[in-house]
Amino acid sequence: MATRAKIIIVGAGFGGIAAAKRLANCDADITVIDRRNYHLFQPLLYQVATADLSPADIAWPIRGLFTRYQNISVVLSEITGLDPAARQLLAGGRRYPYDFLILATGSGNSYFNHPEWEPDAPGLKRIIDATEIRKRILLAFEQAEIADDSATQRRLLNFVVIGGGPTGVELAGAIAELAKVALARDFRHIDPKAARIVLVEAGQRLLASFPPELSDYAQRCLEKLGVEIALGKPVRAVDGTGVRIGETLLPTATVVWAAGVKVEGPGQWLGVETDRGGRVAVAADLSVPSHPNIFVIGDAAKVTWEGEKLVPGLAPAAKQEGRYVADVIRARIEHRPAPAAFRYRHVGSLATIGRNAAVVDFGRFQLKGWLAWWFWGLIHIYFLINTRAATLVLLQWFWAYLTRKKGARLITGLRPLFTHPKR
Residues 6+ apart with CB under 8 A from 83: 89, 90, 95
Name which position in 78, 83, 116, 334 contacts a copy of itself (CB under 8 A): 78
Distance CA 180, CA 397 (A): 18
Given the rule CB under 8 A, which of 98-106, 139-147, 153-161, 321-329 is the region that contacts a copy of itself?
Answer: 139-147
Residues 6+ apart with CB under 8 A from 125: 42, 45, 106, 107, 108, 109
Instruction: Map the footprint of a copy of itself across residues 90-129, applying CB under 8 A.
Output: 92, 94, 127-128
Sign of the C-alpha dihedral, residues 131, 134, 139, 145?
Answer: negative
Which whole-number Å values give the CA distances from 142 to 82, 123, 151, 160, 183, in the listed order?
Answer: 47, 22, 15, 17, 11
Contact mark string toward a copy of itself, 202..241, x via CB under 8 A: ----------------------------------------
Give the three-state DSSP class for 420. Answer: coil
> CB of 350 within 8 A of CB of 376?
yes
Contact mark string toward a copy of itself, 343..382, x via CB under 8 A: ----------------------------------------
Given the rule CB under 8 A, which of 31-39, 114-122, 161-169, 348-356 is the region that contacts a copy of itself?
Answer: 31-39
Closest separation in Å from C-beta 406 to a copy of itself: 9
Given the rule CB under 8 A, which of 242-250, 271-279, 342-350, 385-393 is the region that contacts a copy of itself?
Answer: 385-393
Radius of gyration of the chain measured on its C-alpha atoms: 22
The active-site residue, picked from 78, 145, 170, 201, is 170
170 a catalytic residue: yes
Instruction: Map the footprint of a copy of itself across residues 160-189, applying CB under 8 A.
Output: 183, 185-189
Distance CA 408, CA 53 (A): 6
Give the three-state DSSP class for 355. Answer: coil
Name which position in 57, 120, 201, 321 contacts a copy of itself (CB under 8 A): 57
**Could you tell me whether strands 304-305 and 309-310 are parallel, antiparallel, or unpaired per DSSP bridges?**
antiparallel
* Residue with Cβ nearer a copy of itself (34 or 99): 34
Closest separation in Å from C-beta 59 to a copy of itself: 6
Residues 6+ apart with CB under 8 A from 65: 12, 17, 21, 39, 385
Which whole-number Å values give the CA distances from 3 to 27, 86, 98, 99, 290, in the listed order?
Answer: 10, 17, 12, 10, 24
Name which position in 77, 105, 107, 215 contacts a copy of itself (CB under 8 A): 77
Query: Does 83 contact a copy of itself by CB under 8 A?
Result: no
Positions in the binding site for a copy of itself (CB under 8 A): 35-38, 54-57, 59-61, 63-64, 66-67, 70, 73-78, 92, 94, 127-128, 131, 138-139, 142, 145-146, 183, 185-189, 388-389, 391-392, 395-396, 399, 403, 405, 407-414, 416-417
Residues tagged active-site: 170
